[in-house]
Structure 1
Amino acid sequence: MDSMIVTTADFNEDKYKLLQLNPEIEQAITTGSKVFIVGARDTRAVICTENKSYFIKKEDTSNLRLLTTHTDWSGSEETMTKRTIQVSGAARFHYLLEHKVPDVTQLRALLLESPYVKPRHDATESHVKRVKLHKLYTTGDLVGILQVSEHEVLKMLKEIHAFEEAGAWRLLELQYQTQVFTDMLDTIFQHDWDVLSEPGVPLKQFLTELDEPMVAIRQCCKLYGLLTLVNGEDHCTLNPVKVATFRAKSLFDEQIEEAKFQAQHEHVKPADAGWELDQFMEKWKLRVPDSVTVSLEMLCGLVLVKPQGAGKPTRIVYFPEEDLSPDPKKRFEQLFNMQEKWTIKQLEPYIKCVVSYAKHNTSVIVAQAHTLVASRQIDRKAVQQTMI
C-alpha cells in the first residue's frame, strides 16, 4: 500500500519531546503510581517515582523522527488506495534516564545549617532571632532540594540518624554531639555500667547523671548503639566497634587542632598529618573499655595507613569516606588526589556505595582509574589484577 505523509496545520517540532522509559518508570505510570519531575533553572531535571530518582539526559540522534497519531498500519497489499499519514510533530533528539545516586553528604550539610544544640536557659532575644534565621527542612523540602524520591530521602535520614522535631528534620551539632557522648562514656566508666551487652543501661540513669536533654542522649544511643524497650523502659546498649571508632576519631580531632597550631609557623601538608601508627595504637587502646580489642579493621573507610620512606615510621591519616563526593568520577578524583596508588582492598570501603548500582563493578573501577592514568602514575595493573 502506498502512503503519503502530510503535515498537520499545527505541526511543530518543539511541541512534543520523546522520553525513553526504563521498566521502573513505565511500571509506575501504567500502575498509576506517583511520578513527578523536580528541578530548577540552574539544575538538571530529575524524574522521581516513589522509590527511585533518575536524571533526564538529552541524547541527540542522526535521524529525524516524525511523530504521528496514526496507528493503523494494517492493510491488504492489493489495495490500490493511497494511505495518508498525518504528522503533527518531529524530534531531532530524545531523552534518556540515568540513575541518580542519593547524596547523603548534601543532606547532612543541609541539616547542619541549623543543627540541634542544647537549649540555653539564659538565651537572649537576639540569640533566639539568630537561631530562627536558619531554615529547618521538612520531608517535602528535602525532596525538592535533593531532587530524589521521598523513599530515598527517608532512607538517608535513617542512615544519618536524623530525628524529627515539630515536623522538621534535625541533626545534633557535631561538637555538641561529641561533648554529650564523651560525657556519657565518662559516666559509664565512672559507675562501671555494663553498657556493651544487653539489656544495657536505662536512659533515665543518664538523665540523672547528665544535665542534657533526653533527645540528645537518645540520639547518641542510636548513633553509637541501639535502643531497646525492657519492661516498658528504654535501655541503651552501645556497640563496641562504634565506641572504639569514636575514640579513634577523637585522637585525630586532637591531632588536627595541633596541626593547625603548627601550620601557623610552618607549612603542613595533609600527607604529613596524622599519627605515627604505633603511637596511635598505644593511645587508642587506653581510651576504650578493657573488654574491647582495637584493630585497624575497625577503621575501614575512616583512615589510611601510609608507609613512609626508609627509616621513617608508618603514619595513619584521617580520611573519612562520608566526606567524599557521591559522584563516582569526582570521588575517584578525590581518592587519587589523596594518594597515587591504591589496591582494591584499600579502595573498597571508599567506593562500595557508588558502584553498587553498576552491573560490572570491575569495569567501573578500571574505567575510572584509566581516566586518571594520563595525569597521574596510578598502578592500574595492580588494581585490575586484585579485582579479578
Structure 2
Amino acid sequence: MPGTRAARRTREEVDATLQVAKLDAAELLPTAHCLAFGLGAHGGAGDVCLLELEPALCQQLEAGRSLVIRGDKEEQAVLCSKDKTYDLKVADTSNMLLFIPGCKTPDQLKMEESPCNIVHTEIFGFSNNYWELRRCRPRLKKLKKLLMGNTYEGPDSPKEKDSKCSKYTTEDLLDQIQASEEEIMTQLEVLKACVIGGYWRILEFDYEMKLLNHITQLVDSESWSFSKVPLNICLQELGPLEPEEMIEHCLKCYGKKYVDEGEVYFELSADKICRATAQLLLQNAVKFNLAEFQEVWQQSVPEGMTTSLEQLKGLALVDRNSRPEIIFLLKVEDLPEGNQERFNSLFSLREKWTEEDIAPYIQDLCGEKQTIGSLLTKYARSSMQNGIKVYNSRRPIS
C-alpha cells in the first residue's frame, strides 16, 4: 500500500482500503505493510542494479569471496567467480521491484514475540529490471592472441632487448581476459606458457622444439628410459646450452614429474612428442601426401616411439577422398570460439564430415550438459553416404 512519508495509516484506514478493494482481511496474512517513499529515498531505476545469483554464488559472497565483472567496452560483459564464467544480461520485469531495507518476511514476523498487525516501511529505491546470469564457456581466444604477439625465442633473441614488445603479468591477464582465474590458469597450462621475468610468455614453437631436441638427444646418448629422465643431470648437461628454467619447463610440457628416492624425474609422453614432431613437419606444408608423411614422421621421432594418427586429433586433418590421400594442419585453437561461427568455418572447409573427423574440432564447445551428438543435432543435418553417416550444414555456407 504505497503512501507518503507523512501518512502513517491506522488499522482502521487499512481495513477501509481493503473493503474498497473488495478483499477479505480474513483471507490475508495478519500483518499489513504500509509502503512510503521517504524524503531521502534514492536509488531509482538505473541507480541501483539487482543481481540474481544461484545459491552456490551466494555462498561464495557470504564466505568473503569476490565476483568480478570483466570485459572491454566492445565486449559483452561477463561475471566471473574464482572458477566459473557467466554471461551477464539484463532481464526486464513487468512488476516494479522495490528496495526495502530491513523488510521482514511473513515467516520472520511469525517468529516475533509481539508481532504488529501494521508495519510502516520506507522504500529505499526501485527497479524495473535485474541482471541474470547464465553459465558460459570462458572466452580464452584473446589470451593466446595477446601472448602470441611477443613469443619467447630464447634469452639472446633481439626481441628481449626491445622494450616496446607487449608483456603481460597475471594481473594484466585477469584484467583483459573474460574468464575466471582458474580457467585462465588452466588455459595458460594448455598453451604451455610460463613466467619469465614476471611476465607470462609462450615459447616460439621452433625454440620449444629446439629445447625438446636437446632433451631427446641427451636421453638417447645416455641410454635413459623415457619414463625416467633425471632432472638434475638434464640441467647439468644442458644448462650451458639453454637457461635451466627453460629446460625444466620443457620437461614439464612433455612429461610428468615425480620423485623417486629423493631424486626428481620426468616420465616423457610419447604421444606429446610425436604430436609436436608432426606439427613441425606439417607447419611448412600446405598439404602433405599422407603415406609419405607417415613414413617421414615415424623416422623423425625418437627411437622406440610409435606414431599414430590418433595422436593428431584437433591438430591435423586427413582428406581420404583425395587421390592420393593427404593430410594438413588444422588446429582447433585457431577456429572461432562461437558455436555457429565454428560450424560455419568447418563446413566452409569441408562440406560433409563424419562424426569421427569433426568431434575433435567441436569437443571444446560442449557445455556442462551438452554432448557432441546434441551439438551436431542443433547445428548440422545428417545423411548417409556410402553407408556412413555424415553431417553437413543446416544453412547455406557462402
Is the shorter-chain TM-score for this pair beyond 0.5, marking a shared fold? Answer: yes
**Cα distance, 1:52 vs structure 2:** 2.0
Aligned counterpart for 1:242 among listed residues 265, 268, 272:
272
Contact 1:302–1:320 (Cα < 8 Å) also in 2: yes
Aligned counterpart for 2:189 among listed residues 158, 164, 188:
158
Match of 1:355 in 2: 366
Contact 1:70–1:86 (Cα < 8 Å) also in 2: no
**Cα distance, 1:85 vs structure 2:** 6.3
Aligned counterpart for 2:238 among listed residues 191, 204, 207:
207
Contact 1:115–1:171 (Cα < 8 Å) also in 2: yes
1:60-107, Cα deviation, whole Å (9 max, x unpaired): 34444444457356599xxxx987665554433321112242344322
- Seen in structure 2, the aligned counterparts of structure 1 residues 104 and 235 have a Cα distance that, compared at 3 Å, is farther
Match of 1:294 in 2: 307
- Seen in structure 2, the aligned counterparts of structure 1 residues 336 and 200 have a Cα distance that, compared at 3 Å, is farther
Q: Which has the higher strand share?
A: 2
Unpaired stretches in structure 1, ≥5 consecutive residues:
257-273, 378-388
- Seen in structure 2, the aligned counterparts of structure 1 residues 102 and 245 have a Cα distance that, compared at 3 Å, is same
Aligned counterpart for 2:180 among listed residues 149, 163, 179:
149
Match of 1:36 in 2: 68
CA distance in 1, matches of 2:103, 2:342: 48
- Seen in structure 2, the aligned counterparts of structure 1 residues 374 and 148 have a Cα distance that, compared at 3 Å, is closer
Match of 2:170 in 1: 139
CA distance in 2, matches of 1:326, 1:195: 40
1:21-69, Cα deviation, whole Å (9 max, x unpaired): 1223212122222223333433333322222222211223444444445
Give matches, 1:242-261, under 5 Å. Answer: 242-256=272-286
Match of 2:81 in 1: 49
**Cα distance, 1:346 vs structure 2:** 2.2
CA distance in 1, matches of 2:161, 2:377: 52
Instruction: Return the TM-score normalized by structure 2.
Output: 0.75
Percent same amino acid among aligned pairs? 27
- Seen in structure 2, the aligned counterparts of structure 1 residues 186 and 82 have a Cα distance that, compared at 3 Å, is closer
AA aligned to 1:313 is P
Aligned counterpart for 2:204 among listed residues 168, 173, 180:
173
Instruction: Return the TM-score normalized by structure 1.
Output: 0.76
**Cα distance, 1:235 vs structure 2:** 3.8
Contact 1:228–1:236 (Cα < 8 Å) also in 2: yes
AA aligned to 2:282 is F
1:2-28, Cα deviation, whole Å (9 max, x unpaired): 377655554622222222212232121
- Seen in structure 2, the aligned counterparts of structure 1 residues 192 and 72 have a Cα distance that, compared at 3 Å, is closer
**Cα distance, 1:141 vs structure 2:** 1.5
After superposing the two structures, state which structure 1 stretch, 173-182 or 60-69, moved more: 60-69
- Seen in structure 2, the aligned counterparts of structure 1 residues 250 and 129 have a Cα distance that, compared at 3 Å, is closer
- Seen in structure 2, the aligned counterparts of structure 1 residues 184 and 72 have a Cα distance that, compared at 3 Å, is closer
CA distance in 1, matches of 2:148, 2:366: 27
Match of 2:129 in 1: 93
Contact 1:200–1:237 (Cα < 8 Å) also in 2: no
CA distance in 2, matches of 1:149, 1:254: 35
Match of 1:285 in 2: 298
After superposing the two structures, state which structure 1 stretch, 61-70 or 317-326, moved more: 61-70
CA distance in 2, matches of 1:128, 1:280: 36
**Cα distance, 1:188 vs structure 2:** 4.3
1:358-381, Cα deviation, whole Å (9 max, x unpaired): 35654343223369512149xxxx
- Seen in structure 2, the aligned counterparts of structure 1 residues 302 and 360 have a Cα distance that, compared at 3 Å, is closer
AA aligned to 1:157 is L
Q: Could you say which structure has the larger radius of gyration?
A: 2
Match of 1:182 in 2: 213
1:307-365, Cα deviation, whole Å (9 max, x unpaired): 225xx222112111222233333322322222222233223222222214235654343
Match of 2:327 in 1: 316
**Cα distance, 1:186 vs structure 2:** 4.4
Unpaired stretches in structure 2, ≥5 consecutive residues:
1-14, 19-31, 111-116, 382-391
Aligned counterpart for 1:328 among listed residues 327, 339, 347:
339
AA aligned to 2:131 is Y
* RMSD over aligned Cα atoms: 3.4
Corresponding residue SS for 1:60: strand
